[in-house]
Copies of this chain bind each other. A is one copy, B any other.
């Protein structure tokens, strides 16, 4: 890597290889999401990928997150909360790519104006396991509304829940 090549953030999406999101944008998005949004810390959400089309994260299972005491099953509310949050991050990733003429700060500032309009979660199978994998992709980023699709998977890749969200953007 020459001094002219910007460093790639470890969370950058390999699918964006031709036109990756900037290091500072990804780092800023990660910091807001994992650190400033307190409840995301309660959920234990750890981002693994931030791309222009999709984002990925993990949640390690903890006793705090139990919904069903009998089976050590994760609470459905952890799933809905995490998929809602991750859908919003996916929209931010898409914004990061769409508005490259804006500064990193300007684009990150759009995160604070982003709001969930509504959310649907389908619970397909019980969430039992040592950790979970989450993905969110943007189906459409409009000038006012973005639509996303989210998946909540077991450590073995089995689809446990799906989500759909609409977000207001500006």
Contacts and interface: CB of A to CB of B under 8 A. Distances in A.
Looking at chain A's contact residues, the main secondary structure is mixed
A63 B41 CA distance: 12
Nearest to A159: B139
A36 B166 CA distance: 29
A112 B80 CA distance: 20
Interface of A: 36-40, 42-43, 63-70, 75-78, 80-82, 84-85, 112, 115-126, 139-140, 144-145, 147, 149, 159, 162, 164, 166, 168
Number of chain copies forming the complex: 4
A102 to B, nearest CB: 19
Given A84-B121, A139-B162, A144-B144, 11 more contacts: A37-B67, A38-B63, A38-B67, A42-B65, A76-B119, A80-B119, A117-B118, A118-B147, A118-B164, A125-B140, A162-B164
B80 A64 contact: no
A43 B78 CA distance: 10
Given A39-B78, A121-B80, A124-B140, A68 B116 contact: no
Contact of A76 (B116, B140, B144): B116
Given A116-B123, A118-B121, A67 B39 contact: yes
A122 B144 contact: no
A118 B166 contact: yes
